[in-house]
Amino acid sequence: MQRPIKAYIDLPALTHNLLVTRHYVPDAKIMAIIKANAYGHGLLHTAHALRNADGFGLLELEAAICLREAGFRHPILLLEGFFSTRELALLEKYRLSTVIHHDEQLAMLSGCNHRELDIFLKINTGMNRLGIASERFPSVIKQLSGNPAVSQVTLMTHFATADGTTDNTQFHKQLQVFDQITGSTPMPCTLANSAATIRYPEAHRDWVRPGLMLYGASPFAAHRGVDFKLKPVMSLTSKIIAIQHLKQGDIVGYGGSFQTDRPMCIGIVACGYADGYPRHAPTGTPVLVNGYRSRLIGKVSMDMLAVDLTELPNIPINSTVTLWGNGLPVEDIARAADTISYELLCALPTRVELEILQEESQSSTTRICVESK
């Protein structure tokens, strides 16, 4: 029999979250970010649920080609660009847009024989990750404008601190740098990630690039997705496969890091760090058991973890355990485990089955075929 752990993917929630994003940016186009297998949610069914977005952004050339072959005609942007001249022919063939962020890419582009390539020029405004130096912007724009391979150029940057809680000095500094060097250049722009989409309307420009918010989670550490009317898309669930009745002084799990101070009842759940649950989640991390809020106890092992059943009523073997999702925001787990919700969603491994929830009508939701990750 199959292990009971599953990740349910709620496609109507994706569609809802796209509509929420539209509310924030009524005058900008939305490039839905679906990199990393759509943040662990599955590429193709996620793209179908987000088909009303204006474009898609991802890193993997193979995934971009997969979208084209599945019939998607949206603009598709490779966020890290291309890595060899051989890939330029595929960009032309499949009409893929590409980021340019360093001189080697410029050199490959200037020596190619391809045409009608859509370029997004990334400018380093202070994050110091990808992008050409701001002082080189005029010369690079001149080089691109004179290149017959280039069809259109869109200007872009990425903010380092748009998700910050208080001090927005760095954000405004980056925005000022971008505006100073590009202000007189009549080209479309894309600046805003999820955090800037929500918090900084001045950064919306022509395109926004939301990622995490589309999957129902908040980009801000002090908030949950529900605070912005977002719905969780992924619910990671499993079942209790064993129950242990413990005496005072008994230990739980590897290392004996948890010792009972009274008689306790614990449930063993078929979920561990090999299933994408954070190994460093401490005792007290919240879980839901048959809809009742409880807590993780002891250390997370590869395939199992323990939850406290002592105060819960009549919990039998095979009871459903929600690790995150509906009723238990992924942000709560990330906060308890001192990580971010991005990591939890993206870390879902292939051994966890995805079960896709798709709305058939306004009044019913049904489970359809499982898509392999």
Domain membership of residue 363 (yes or no) is: no
Domain membership of residue 85 (yes or no) is: yes
Same domain (yes/no): 154, 239: no
Same domain (yes/no): 213, 307: no
Q: Which residues contact 29 (CB under 8 A, 6 or more apart)?
A: 54, 55, 206, 207, 208
pTM of the prediction?
0.93
Domain membership of residue 125 (yes or no) is: yes
Q: Is 302 annotated as a binding residue?
A: yes
Same domain (yes/no): 271, 336: yes
Q: Can you give the CATH number for the domain in which 334 is found?
A: 2.40.37.10
Q: Is the dihedral of CA 165, 166, 170, 171 positive or negative?
A: positive
Domain membership of residue 214 (yes or no) is: yes
pLDDT tens-digit map of 159-189: 999 998 667 899 999 999 999 999 888 999 9
Domain membership of residue 200 (yes or no) is: yes
Predicted confidence band of residue 90 (pLDDT cuts 50, 70, 90): very high
Specify whether the CB–CB gap between 305 and 239 falls below 8 A. no
Specify whether the CB–CB gap between 214 and 300 falls below 8 A. no
Instruction: Indicate if 35 belongs to the active site.
Output: yes
Q: Is 209 left (phi over 0), alpha (psi -120 to 50) or beta?
A: beta
Distance CA 170, CA 164 (A): 10
| DSSP secondary structure, 2-16, as one string | --S-EEEEEHHHHHH
pLDDT tens-digit map of 212-251: 999 999 999 999 999 999 999 999 999 999 999 999 999 9
Burial, 372: exposed, middle or buried (Cβ in 10 Å; 0-12, 13-18, 19+)? exposed
Q: What is the DSSP letter of 119?
A: E
Instruction: Indicate if 229 belongs to the active site.
Output: no
Work out how many domains the chain is built from and give that number.
2
Range 306-331 average pLDDT: 97
Query: Tokens representing 171?
Result: 């954000």
Distance CA 108, CA 73 (A): 26
Distance CA 283, CA 300 (A): 9
Domain membership of residue 372 (yes or no) is: no
Specify whether the CB–CB gap between 286 and 280 falls below 8 A. no
Q: Which residues contact 285 (CB under 8 A, 6 or more apart)?
A: 295, 296, 333, 336, 337
β 264-269/305-308 pair status: antiparallel
Distance CA 33, CA 208 (A): 10
- Single residue among 223, 255, 275 that ends a domain in this structure: 223
Please report the beta strands in 109-149, taking only residues with DSSP state E, as ranges in sequence order: 117-124, 132-133
Q: Can you give the CATH number for the domain in which 33 is found?
A: 3.20.20.10
Same domain (yes/no): 146, 261: no
pLDDT tens-digit map of 112-157: 888 889 999 999 999 999 999 999 999 999 999 999 999 999 999 9
Q: Which of 8, 24, 35, 122 is catalytic?
A: 35
Task: Look up the domain containing 77 and give its range.
Answer: 11-223
| DSSP secondary structure, 141-195, as one string | HHHHHT-TTEEEEEEE---SSTT-SS--HHHHHHHHHHHHHHTT----EEEE-HH
Same domain (yes/no): 270, 339: yes
Same domain (yes/no): 206, 343: no
Same domain (yes/no): 171, 108: yes
Same domain (yes/no): 181, 244: no
pLDDT tens-digit map of 245-299: 999 999 999 999 999 999 999 999 999 999 999 999 999 999 999 999 999 999 9
Residue 361, pLDDT score: 33
3-state secondary structure of 69: helix
Q: What is the 3-state secondary structure (H, E, C) of 230-244?
A: CCCCEEEEEEEEEEE
Q: Which residues contact 108 (CB under 8 A, 6 or more apart)?
A: 82, 84, 85, 88
Same domain (yes/no): 195, 284: no
Q: Alpha carbon of 192 to those of 119, 206, 208, 262: distances in Å?
A: 18, 10, 5, 52
Q: Is the pLDDT of residue 366 over 50?
A: no
Same domain (yes/no): 42, 146: yes
Residue with tokens 């460093």: 280
Same domain (yes/no): 146, 253: no
β 29-33/6-10 pair status: unpaired
Q: Which of 191, 121, 117, 122 is nearest to 151 (CA)?
A: 117
Residue 111, pLDDT score: 80
Specify whether the CB–CB gap between 134 and 141 falls below 8 A. no
